Amino acid sequence: MDSESPTSSDFTKLSLPSVPSETPTSSDASEAPTTSATPSDISTIPIINEAESSWEMRCHCCMPHECGNTIECDSCKTWQHMACMGLTEKSDVSNYLCEVCQPRKLPMNKTAAVKLQRQILKGLKASASRKGDKKKKKKKRRSGMMIQKTPESLKTKGNSEGVASLLNSLSTTSSAESLLKEARLHRKAKRSSDNDEILKANCDVKVGDVILEVSGYLSKPEEVKRKAGGVAGIFMYHGLAKGDSGDSEGVLCISTRKNGISANVRRSCAPNSALKHVVDVENQLKFIVIATEEIARGHEITLPFDADWRESRIPLKCARHLKNLGECPLKKERRRVAAERRKKDQIQQNQYSPKVVKILRTIPPFHLESPYLNASGYSQKARSDSDEILKTSCPVSPKKVIMEMTGFISTPSEVERGEGVFVYDGLMKEGIDKNSPDSLLCIDTKRGGNEAKLIRRSCAPNSILKHVVGTESIEILVVASEQMDEGTEVKLPFDVDFVERGEPLKCVEHEKNMSEAIRPHNSTATS
């Protein structure tokens, strides 16, 4: 579901509802408002932007505000407050008709309806006031740290200088006016009453329907602060791009945070709408959200993630899987790309301190009896999960290599011990005096290390460290010491000198009560 712009012929295929006459009917005129909300009633209520306000509220209470739950008449396309019509969110509103198109006795008279709406406005005003007070307090606390203010242009609709030449080259879309009129007269989305950060359909939406217009500040991706995959209120648009999908020419970002309800559209791995563009008769670039599948009233409106979602370094906030991001199908692909990126970023070969280089020169390379001689050809059998814990990616048998541990290798006296530093004593079997301070090696995985730096220690480890010596080089391998099922956390024993060091131990098995930890195993590599 891409975000490329449809051609003019594509727009003619869209099934759009008929646009009602903008001239008031006689029944509308007879219901001319005699009572309206005072400015104080609505001064703190969110107001939609100009592009989204070309629609008619004609309700039994004669109050023109759109606050609270509202509903559109399927016949005359005017809007009413659901409370005034005696409706709730659980009411069956399919084929809804107002009291003018379908005359009937309403559950309350006009006086009661006005009273009810004033109560609703009062409640919304109080809620908005509380939110405003919180924002003011937060702003006051941060005011001393603020160096730059948000540019004035970012607070309203406009364009950056970087997109000027691109916009000047656009041609008018023949169906632009009808599509924009549809978006402005019959807006099919509204903030959720349960969560004002979510946008839901306020009527049943068909495939190809224009849901709403999107307005905001246009810029090039490099001109706006955003993260790969998209952030709330900022949408990357590729519909104007030419050439390969990786070509950044013609790619725009729309910052909608200060421009109406479109900022509330969330992303999903299974979106039900897409972002499209049109160019109006004034040669102005406009954006609309079009339904790509049927959306039932009350269901959330969602858009795809930005095209660069694979490059995201953090889990994608998928609207469909917020309670369990691990079930999002995009996670697997994002992690695959992340793993490839880490391989490129990290140092694939170990780095050695001068002392270690001298030690390696004294050790004959490639013991033929070593079962790990061909370790360089292994496939990694572990990966990090969403909690940054290293777990097996497949079943692993005892004595099988799980992965290589890379980093800066030195002697204990050459490195500051701490998180990410592992001690290896396996060189004692290479003829080095075990009482020599050089009999131990330290692998600092924070310096050029791979995912092995995520391995935690345990008093009941399921893996150990082994090594293979090359020509003035050494490979430190994480090897299974017992049968491990897929999804099992990889755990190493504590460093061999943990007793002498006397530092508090962090055991995976006893995180909540370290006093119950069993005496850690010696980390000496054994067959």
User: Does the pLDDT value for residue 5 go beyond 60?
Assistant: no
Q: What is the pLDDT of residue 43?
A: 32
362 and 485 share one domain: yes
**Coil, helix or strand for 339?**
helix
- Assess if residue 522 is contained within a domain: no
As for how many domains the chain has, the answer is 3
93 and 241 share one domain: no
303 and 360 share one domain: no
Which tokens in the block code for residue 429? 């079997």
Range of weakest confidence among 16-25, 83-92, 342-351, 473-482: 16-25
* Residue 245 CA from chain centroid, whole number: 21
Q: In what order do the strands lie in the sheet with 441-444?
A: 351-352, 408-410, 441-444, 421-424
Which tokens in the block code for residue 284? 């102005």
**Which residues make beta-bridge pairs with 469?**
474
| Tens digits of residue pLDDT in 435-452 | 555 678 999 988 877 888
- Assess if residue 24 is contained within a domain: no
| Tens digits of residue pLDDT in 374-432 | 544 456 788 876 667 899 989 999 989 999 898 899 998 888 888 889 999 887 655 55
186 and 323 share one domain: yes
Contacts by 94-97, CB closer than 8 A, 24 or more apart: 94/204, 96/71, 96/72, 97/73
- Assess if residue 1 is contained within a domain: no
Residue 435: other Cβ atoms inside 10 A: 7
Q: Which domain holds residue 49?
A: 31-147
User: Does the pLDDT value for residue 527 go beyond 60?
Assistant: no
Q: Do residues 253 and 224 lie in contact, with contact meaning Cβ atoms separated by under 8 Å?
A: yes
Q: What is the pLDDT of residue 310?
A: 78
Q: What is the pLDDT of residue 274?
A: 87
Q: What is the pLDDT of residue 196?
A: 61
Q: How far apart are CA 221 and CA 246, in angstroms?
A: 13
Residue 62 gets the label, from left (phi > 0), alpha (psi -120 to 50) or beta, of: left
Strand pairing class (217-219; 252-255): antiparallel
Q: How far apart are CA 478 and CA 487, in angstroms?
A: 16
129 and 161 share one domain: no
289 and 353 share one domain: no
352 and 499 share one domain: yes
- Assess if residue 48 is contained within a domain: yes
- Assess if residue 18 is contained within a domain: no
| Tens digits of residue pLDDT in 100-126 | 888 888 888 988 999 898 888 888 777
Q: What is the pLDDT of residue 430?
A: 56
User: Does the pLDDT value for residue 154 go beyond 50?
Assistant: no
| Tens digits of residue pLDDT in 364-373 | 765 544 555 5
136 and 188 share one domain: no
Q: Do residues 295 and 204 lie in contact, with contact meaning Cβ atoms separated by under 8 Å?
A: yes
- Assess if residue 342 is contained within a domain: no
223 and 327 share one domain: yes
| Tens digits of residue pLDDT in 256-292 | 766 567 777 888 888 898 888 888 777 778 888 888 9
- Assess if residue 526 is contained within a domain: no
Tell me the C-alpha to C-alpha distance, in Å, between residue 109 and each of 59, 70, 219, 355, 418.
12, 18, 51, 92, 74
364 and 447 share one domain: yes
Residue finishing a domain among 147, 176, 199: 147
User: Does the pLDDT value for residue 490 go beyond 90?
Assistant: yes
Concatenated DSSP letters of 159-214: E-GGGHHHHHT----TTHHHHHHHHHHS--EEE-SS-TTSEEESS-B-TT-EEEEE
Residue finishing a domain among 147, 179, 209: 147
Contacts by 396-400, CB closer than 8 A, 24 or more apart: 396/480, 396/483, 396/484, 396/488, 397/480, 397/483, 398/480, 398/481, 398/482, 398/483, 399/371, 399/479, 399/480, 399/481, 399/527, 400/479, 400/480
> Average pLDDT of the chain?
72
Q: What is the pLDDT of residue 489?
A: 94
327 and 405 share one domain: no
Residue finishing a domain among 274, 304, 332: 332
Q: How far apart are CA 102 and CA 434, in angstroms?
A: 95
Concatenated DSSP letters of 130-160: HHHHHHHHHHHHHTTT--SPPPGGGGSSEE-
Tell me the C-alpha to C-alpha distance, in Å, between residue 463 and each of 150, 173, 274, 282.
53, 64, 48, 69
Tell me the C-alpha to C-alpha distance, in Å, between residue 304 and each of 165, 183, 237, 256.
27, 20, 11, 16
The torsion of the CA quartet 315, 319, 322, 324, rounded to 10 degrees, works out to -80
**pLDDT band at 481; cut points 50, 70, 90:** very high
Q: Do residues 442 and 409 lie in contact, with contact meaning Cβ atoms separated by under 8 Å?
A: yes
**pLDDT band at 455; cut points 50, 70, 90:** very high
Residue 500: HSE in the Cβ half-sphere, 13 Å Cα cutoff: 4
Residue 62 maps to which CATH number? 3.30.40.10
Q: Do residues 415 and 458 lie in contact, with contact meaning Cβ atoms separated by under 8 Å?
A: no
| Tens digits of residue pLDDT in 321-358 | 877 777 788 877 777 777 666 655 554 568 899 999 88
- Assess if residue 2 is contained within a domain: no
Q: What is the pLDDT of residue 348?
A: 53
Q: Do residues 173 and 245 lie in contact, with contact meaning Cβ atoms separated by under 8 Å?
A: no
Output 491 or 193, whichever has higher pLDDT: 491
130 and 184 share one domain: no
Q: What is the pLDDT of residue 228?
A: 78
Residue 382 maps to which CATH number? 2.170.270.10
User: Does the pLDDT value for residue 29 go beyond 60?
Assistant: no
* Residue 201 CA from chain centroid, whole number: 22
